[in-house]
A and B are shown apart, each in its own frame.
Chain A
Amino acid sequence: MMTNNMNSLNGAMASNISRRQLLKTLGAGGAALAGGSMFRPMSALAAGDLAFWATGTLDVGDAWSRAADDAGLNVAFTDNGNDPGPAVARLVAGNANDLFDIGGLQGGAEKELAVQGAIVPWDMSKIPNYENVWQWAKDIPYLQHDGKQYGLPAVINADSIIYRPDKLGKVDSYGVIFDPKLKGQVAMEDAWINSAVFAAMYLKESENQKIGNPGNLTEDELGLVMEFLIKHKKDGQFRTFWSGWEQGVQLVGDGEVLAMTGWEPIVYEGRKRGLQVEYAAPVEGYEGWGNNLVLLKGAVDRGLGDDAHKFANWLLDGFYGCALGEQRGYVVPSDRNVAYAEANASQFDPAKVKALAEHVKAKFSGKVAWQNTRPDNFQLYEEWWQKLRNA
């Protein structure tokens, strides 16, 4: 009995000390010093006040005021840094649920966040605009868990290879990245979240290696992929691994590399600098990614569940898609964007909105491997990435 009591005490201590409590206690001092509030007091919340915590690319600046005009929602946007690791940690073990109502995260962590109780499922009956979301976007893995909808695709796109056609001719395979003839003239991103997927896609589709889902590699598959990358690194294949927009642009713009895996906007920037730069449509397919809306449990606890649903419905209603496309070139996967532009031609050019939508749709007409921020073996991914760094 005594032992049981001690165990219970230990258990209580563990659950009391762990996670939220400890971080909150430690963080409270810092927050107080910073003059900020650790929590949003219920009394300070007005109806329609929503805190949206998402990747910076989802921010539309002044255009958020339209949510107030259209749906009576005062949206306060906060950039979550786009690094899935800290964002997930802050949701599960930190104070994100106290501060924010809706999250916008790169897809993959929904299942774990749901299991941890950090997010709750959307009530799809309250989001009628979801009907207009493109079917293949609805089919993105990770959006559902246990038959419930935890993620809503807010922005989608697909990445491949940026290359110089004047030096390489037409490129249509990730093989160019691993071609010994281009030793020291190619680069990949300094993130396993993308580079492991690209390498896995190449090995699966062009080298006929036994790989199931490039976005969620088993232990053996991961070993195969990472050994492949390590071998090429040791051979001096890569000029560097890049991270961040400026570095990516500089590598291409200053002729440091002739081909690299990366983001399509870098192509546009390269062209602005007068370079011949193309974005490849690889035979192995694109790496698709979705930035998905998740409903934070804290929002429901604070009685903001209905407002959060109203916000999600507004986001898929067309105006936001048009504004985001115009500001950043990103696409909300819904037919409502074109419909909105056609009905409001003085605000947005319907032809441009349509062209952007068709461009992204075309990418997804072939093979796609989905980026996954939380593969099952994500700790192993980090270990292998260290081995690559040290190779």
Chain B
Amino acid sequence: MKSPGLLLALPTALIVLLLGFVPLIVILVWSFWTWDPATYWIRPEFSLAGYEAILEAGRWSVIVGSLGKAFLTAAICVVIGYPAAMAVHFLASRRTALLLMALFTIPFFTSYMIRAFSWRLVLGRNGLINGWLMDLGIVDQPLDWLLFSNFAVNVGLVASYLPFVIFPLILSMQRVEPSLLAASQDLGAGFWRTFRSVLLPLTQAGIFAGFLFVFVMAAGSATEVQMLGGAAASMISVMINDVMRVVNFPLAFAISTLVLIILFGLIFIGNRLFKLTSLFEGFTW
């Protein structure tokens, strides 16, 4: 059965190779070439100038800051998404579960731009939240930090990417043997003990997969920070756009390469620690 399966997968694998792997190699190679400001183009001469420039103008701090924002977003998504996934898998009827899953996918029906923009209307000086807070007499003046701040960026990122953590979590929960949970309770463990000692360890691959999905997408996002961030707020993608605007290709590719190495490193380490591939164990061709 394996051969026909592999044959069927071959075209897809080739397309992934062509559209995914080849551009990555080009990015990697060009990041070490020399940029010629006289011609706006690059020469195939080895240079580390692109990587050196990452250390200038505080570019490295944008990378660190972006990864920090992405980490926080992914962590918040896991914390919010885990109970949501539990509700779908353990508590809801089949029909309610489908309804809940459909609700989680609603954000996908709108563009990132519209989603981020709508948060401006909610978090703004004259937005919904400030309106409620003032109506209730909780504050006298609108809270400025609700919008155009790191807080607003994180709200936008969590709202955009939350569904990406829920589905891997549901997948991992489906792979937990119900008898194990029943056995834990039969042996006298309460909800929290069962959760901590049985469910959490058995769903760690799903937690990491969800975390990774959100982390990667949040690290590569630009819309949320541009729409909701403070003055001239930056993310890796915004910085790459800035660099591309002055057509410094090797620098843009060096930033991309560095970020790719960090992300691949994270996947590698995470897989070693959390056995990401276990999510797909048991699937047959």
Contacts and interface: CB of A to CB of B under 8 A. Distances in A.
Nearest to B239: A386
Given A378-B246, A386-B57, A386-B62, A88 B40 contact: yes
Contacts of B44: 13-14, 17-18
B226 A190 contact: yes
Interface residues of B, number: 43
A88 B41 CA distance: 11
Contacts, number: 118
A233 B232 contact: yes
Interface string A15-47: 001110000001001000000000000000000
A388 B242 CA distance: 12
Contact of A256 (B41, B147, B231): B147
Interface in A347-391: 378-379, 381-390
A240 B39 CA distance: 35
A145 to B, nearest CB: 16
Contact of A233 (B39, B124, B231, B234): B231
A84 B244 CA distance: 10
B26 A26 contact: yes
Nearest to A378: B246
Contact of B41 (A85, A93, A254, A385): A93
B262 to A, nearest CB: 19
B226 A85 contact: no
Interface stretch (A135-143, A242-250, A291-299): A242-250
A134 to B, nearest CB: 31
A122 to B, nearest CB: 23
A254 B62 contact: no
Interface string B240-283: 00111111100000000000000000000000000000000000
A387 B239 CA distance: 11
B155 to A, nearest CB: 15
B200 to A, nearest CB: 38
B148 to A, nearest CB: 4
B124 A85 contact: no
B41 A92 contact: yes
B107 interface: no
A233 B37 CA distance: 30
A379 B126 CA distance: 39
Given A83-B245, A247-B227, A390-B61, A116 B125 contact: no
Given A92-B39, A190-B232, A385 B126 contact: no
Nearest to B226: A243
A238 interface: yes
Interface string A251-276: 00011100000000000000000000
Contact of B40 (A13, A92, A241): A92
Contact of A240 (B231, B244, B247, B248): B231
Contact of B229 (A19, A29, A84, A240): A240
B62 A19 contact: no
Q: How large is the interface on A (under 10, 10 to 19, 20 to 34, 35 or more residues)?
A: 35 or more
A111 interface: no
A86 interface: yes
Among the interface residues B40, B230, B243, B244, which one has the most CB atoms of the partner chain A within 10 A? B40
A383 B41 contact: no
A89 interface: yes
Among the interface residues A13, A243, A254, which one has the most CB atoms of the partner chain B within 10 A? A254
Nearest to A390: B58
Contacts of B243: 382
Nearest to A379: B246
Nearest to A387: B57
Contacts of B232: 190, 233, 238, 241, 385, 388-389
Contacts of A93: 39-41, 247
A13 B126 CA distance: 61
Given A18-B42, A116-B39, A383-B57, A85 B120 contact: no
Contacts of A389: 58, 62, 232-234, 238-239, 242
B242 A385 contact: yes
Contacts of B175: none
Contact of B56 (A18, A187, A238, A383): A383
Given A239-B148, A240-B231, A246-B117, A254 B126 contact: yes
29 contacts: A18-B44, A83-B245, A86-B245, A89-B244, A92-B39, A92-B41, A233-B232, A240-B148, A240-B231, A240-B233, A247-B117, A250-B117, A254-B121, A254-B125, A254-B126, A254-B127, A256-B126, A256-B148, A379-B246, A381-B246, A382-B243, A382-B245, A385-B232, A386-B58, A389-B58, A389-B62, A389-B238, A390-B62, A390-B234
The 8 closest A-B pairs by CB, nearest first: A85-B245, A390-B58, A238-B231, A386-B57, A389-B234, A89-B247, A240-B148, A382-B246
